[in-house]
Each structure stands twice: as structure tokens, then as C-alpha cells.
């Protein structure tokens, strides 16, 4: 193994790149095991109506509990799962699991929470996606109007024609569509009018500095206004402080989620509400 001091003598062999590749290969191997051995869990982050501070929705966020490596966050494995195609079965598992859990919660007399599930671009362009979702809805009894699929801008702009077709099919089975991480790409505002969307989720990078940066505040106000004029629900991601909340309320942002309210929590904790 090359040590740091020996770096200059190994021109074509950089330990850091090698370790990254090794790590990726290991993660892929472990991911296959994880699917077989049921090592994934879904946590839920509450989504709050900012006017009355009621919990109106839950975003399903996958966690990987590895017996030796411990809890692995999605940022560490979703990309590799996408590159290897494993995201298709992982994503389907998340959707089925979350629908089962939240539907049984809703039907046991809890308020009827909306359920949001993230959809990878790999899944979005999969043939049979709509049928797969319809199947899970039928199997679990989940009310499709309470189900929200979160997609990102980069997913949608890959192939505009296909996207419109796919979104229309999804709308036809009754589910809602949320535009996740809004504003992080090039935000071609034009496509908003072509896509049948229900919710835009303002990325937390816009929320982070609204207390201090007038330019961020200007952008935020404009996105909220735009969303409202397009008859979309506007949700702010990553609310961490009371001041951020108050600013968002002042500009009538509909909903929010963030550590100020709750981090992602286990199903057990959700049941306590």
C-alpha cells in the first residue's frame, strides 16, 4: 500500500482513486447482499403546513443498516445503486414498504398523511414504471391521491417529450408529482408550464441564507410567487431556524420540512404523533 509520503514516486498509482474504486466495488457487492438480507429501513421526515404547523405529509427516506458498517446514509450508496441498476429493485422496495406502513397508519385512524417517495431518474425512465406503481397501490390499498412522487429537475429535462408522456400517465393513476430540489439545476422556468406538477420543493440551499442574504431572499420570494401563480403547492426544504420559518410564513410559503421541526424519524416515532 502506498503511503502518503511516497505519493510522488507513484505517478500513475494514486491511492485515493484506488481506494474510491475499491469502496465502490465493495458497496456494490454489499448492496446486492443488502437487498437479499433486508438491511434497508425507511425513515420519515414530517412535512408541515406552515400556517397551522400541523404535520400534513411524510417523506420516505431510505436508510441502510449494515450489520458491520453501521448506518449508511443514502448519499453514500444511491449513486452506486443507480450506476449498477440496483436502484430499480431498491426503489420498488421503498415504495411498497412505505405505502404499506403509511396506509396502515392512515387507516388506523391517524390523520391521513400524504406520503412522498423519491423516484430516481433510472426508475423514471423504466418501462413498466406506471404499472409497477399501480400494482403497489392496488396491493397495499394506498390512496393514490395521498401518494406523491418526488422527481428532480435533472430527471425531467433528460427527454422532455418522454417526461410529459410519463407524467401524464402517472397523473392518470391519481398520484401527485413534486419537483424536488427546485432551483439547483438551471431552472428553466419554461418547462414548468408543460409538466403536470403539484408541488415544488425549494432546495435548502435557497433557505440556508435567507436571514442574511437579500439576494437569496429575493429569489425565494420569486419562487414562492411563481409557484402560487402556477397553482402549485410550495414547500421549503431544510428549515432549521425559527427566523427562517417566520420569513417563509411572511411570504406565505405553504409547507416546509427541516430539522427545526423534525429530522427523518422511524415509523415507531411517527406512530407516537
- Asked if 238 interacts with ligand C2E (CB under 6 A), we say yes
d(C-alpha 249, C-alpha 196), whole Å: 26
Q: Which stretch binds ligand C2E (CB under 6 A): 70-78, 138-146, 171-179, 192-200?
A: 70-78
Quick one: which of 180, 253, 254, 256 contacts ligand C2E (CB under 6 A)? 180
Kindly list the distances between the CA atom of residue 245 and the CA atoms of 167, 259, 273, in Å, as whole numbers in the listed order: 31, 11, 21
Output the smallest distance, CB 41 to ligand C2E, in A: 11
Q: Of 64-72, 221-229, 238-246, 247-255, which part binds ligand C2E (CB under 6 A)? A: 238-246
Q: Is 8 exposed, middle or buried (0-12, 13-18, 19+ CB in 10 A)?
A: exposed
Task: Please identify, using beta-carbon distances, which residue of 15 and 187 lies nearer to Mg ion.
Answer: 187
Fill in the per-residue mask, 95 to 134: x = in contact with Mg ion (CB under 5 A), - = not in contact.
-----------------------x----------------
CA distances from 75 to 54, 80, 107, 251 (A): 29, 9, 32, 31
Within a 13 Å sphere around the CA of 97, how many CA atoms are in the beta-carbon half? 20
Instruction: Note whether 257 and 53 are within 8 A (CB).
Output: no
Which residue's entry shows cell 441498476?
85
Residue with cell 433510472: 122
Pick one of 90, 129, 170, 181: the residue that binds Mg ion (CB under 5 A). 181
Out of 94, 129, 149, 236, which residue is the one contacting ligand C2E (CB under 6 A)? Answer: 94
39 is written with which cell numbers? 438491511
126 binds ligand C2E (CB under 6 A): no
Applying CB under 6 A, what is the total number of residues that bind ligand C2E?
22
Least distance to ligand C2E, CB of residue 82, Å: 8
Which 8-state DSSP code applies to residue 215?
H
Q: Pick from 91, 183, 227, 256: which binds ligand C2E (CB under 6 A)?
A: 91
CB atoms within 10 A of CB 187: 16
Q: Does 258 bind ligand C2E (CB under 6 A)?
A: yes
Distance from C-alpha of 110 to C-alpha of 97, rounded to nearest angstrom: 18
Q: Please report how close the Cβ of residue 144 comes to Mg ion at its closest, in angstroms.
A: 19
**Which residue's CB atom is positioned nearest to ligand C2E?**
258
What part of residues 235-254 is at the interface with Mg ion (CB under 5 A)?
237
Question: Strand 55-66 to strand 40-49: parallel, antiparallel, or no bridges (unpaired)?
Answer: antiparallel
Q: Given the rule CB under 6 A, which residues bind ligand C2E? A: 45, 61-62, 73-75, 78, 91, 94, 118, 120, 150, 180-181, 204, 238-240, 257-259, 264
Amino acid at each position: 500500500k502506498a503511503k502518503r509520503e511516497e505519493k510522488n514516486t507513484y505517478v500513475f498509482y494514486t491511492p485515493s482513486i484506488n481506494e474510491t474504486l475499491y469502496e465502490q466495488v465493495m458497496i456494490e457487492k454489499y448492496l446486492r447482499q443488502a437487498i437479499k438480507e433486508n438491511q434497508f429501513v425507511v425513515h420519515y421526515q414530517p412535512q408541515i403546513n406552515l400556517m397551522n404547523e400541523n404535520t400534513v405529509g411524510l417523506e420516505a427516506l431510505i436508510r441502510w443498516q449494515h450489520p458491520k458498517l453501521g448506518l449508511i446514509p443514502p448519499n453514500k450508496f444511491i449513486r452506486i445503486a443507480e450506476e449498477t441498476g440496483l436502484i430499480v429493485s431498491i426503489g420498488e422496495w421503498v415504495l411498497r414498504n412505505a405505502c404499506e406502513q403509511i396506509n396502515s397508519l392512515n387507516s388506523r385512524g391517524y390523520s391521513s398523511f400524504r406520503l412522498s417517495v423519491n423516484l430516481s431518474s433510472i426508475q423514471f425512465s423504466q418501462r413498466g414504471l406506471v404499472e409497477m406503481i399501480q400494482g403497489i397501490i392496488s396491493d397495499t390499498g394506498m390512496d393514490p391521491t395521498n401518494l406523491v412522487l418526488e422527481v428532480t429537475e435533472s430527471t425531467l429535462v433528460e427527454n422532455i417529450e418522454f417526461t410529459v408522456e410519463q407524467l401524464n400517465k402517472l397523473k392518470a393513476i391519481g398520484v401527485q408529482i413534486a419537483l424536488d430540489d427546485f432551483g439547483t439545476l438551471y431552472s428553466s422556468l419554461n418547462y414548468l408550464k408543460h409538466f403536470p406538477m403539484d408541488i415544488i420543493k425549494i432546495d435548502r440551499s435557497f433557505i440556508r441564507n435567507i436571514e442574511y442574504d437579500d439576494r437569496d431572499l429575493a429569489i425565494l420570494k420569486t419562487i414562492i410567487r411563481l409557484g402560487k401563480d402556477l397553482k402549485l403547492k410550495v414547500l421549503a426544504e431544510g428549515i432549521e431556524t425559527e427566523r427562517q420559518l417566520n420569513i417563509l410564513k411572511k411570504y406565505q410559503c405553504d409547507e416546509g420540512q427541516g430539522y427545526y421541526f423534525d429530522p427523518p424519524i422511524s415509523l415507531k416515532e411517527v406512530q407516537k404523533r
